[in-house]
């Protein structure tokens, strides 16, 4: 059973792709902002975004697949809340990308300084 879980766990790249894919849509970013203020039902979210229940369910499903949102159904009401991932993978990737760009700019700055000294 453990091997099954390990083999089917998404890779870090797949988790990152899912997070960025989910965040690519402004409605889904808005849902995350709304859930940051507190849990909400699908019906409440759909009303806030002037969207059909079916449309909102699709957005919530994408967020759930990315582990950014979880939902629980009690009776006829499905309540959504922020999920366990909290964008840690995306934040780490962005920080690494920023470090790489800053390092390249530092190298460029050093090169320009050397060429100015040679003049």
For 37-67, write each residue's pLDDT tens digit.
Answer: 999 999 999 999 999 999 999 999 999 999 9
CA angle 27, 75, 32 (to 5 degrees): 20
pLDDT of 88 reads 79
* Percentage of the chain lying above the pLDDT 70 cut: 90
Summarize pLDDT for 73-83 with one digit per residue, the tens: 999 999 999 98
Which candidate, 50, 45, 91, places its Cα nearest to that of 69? 45
pTM: 0.73
Locate 104 and state its tokens: 């390249």
Q: What is the mean pLDDT of residues 24-34?
A: 96
Contact yes or no for 56/71 (Cβ under 8 A): no
Per-residue confidence band for 7, with pLDDT thresholds at 50, 70 and 90: low
């Amino acid at each position: 059973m453990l091997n099954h879980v390990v083999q089917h766990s998404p890779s870090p790249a797949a988790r990152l792709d899912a997070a960025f894919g989910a965040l690519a849509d402004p409605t889904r970013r808005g849902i995350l902002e709304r859930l940051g203020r507190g849990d909400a039902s699908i019906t409440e979210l759909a009303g806030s975004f002037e969207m059909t229940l079916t449309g909102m369910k699709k957005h919530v499903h994408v967020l759930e697949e990315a582990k950014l949102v979880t939902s629980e159904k009690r009776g006829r009401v499905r309540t959504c809340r922020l999920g366990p991932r909290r964008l840690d993978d995306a934040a780490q990737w962005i920080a690494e990308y920023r470090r790489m760009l800053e390092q390249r700019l530092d190298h460029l700055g050093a090169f320009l300084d050397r060429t100015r000294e040679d003049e």
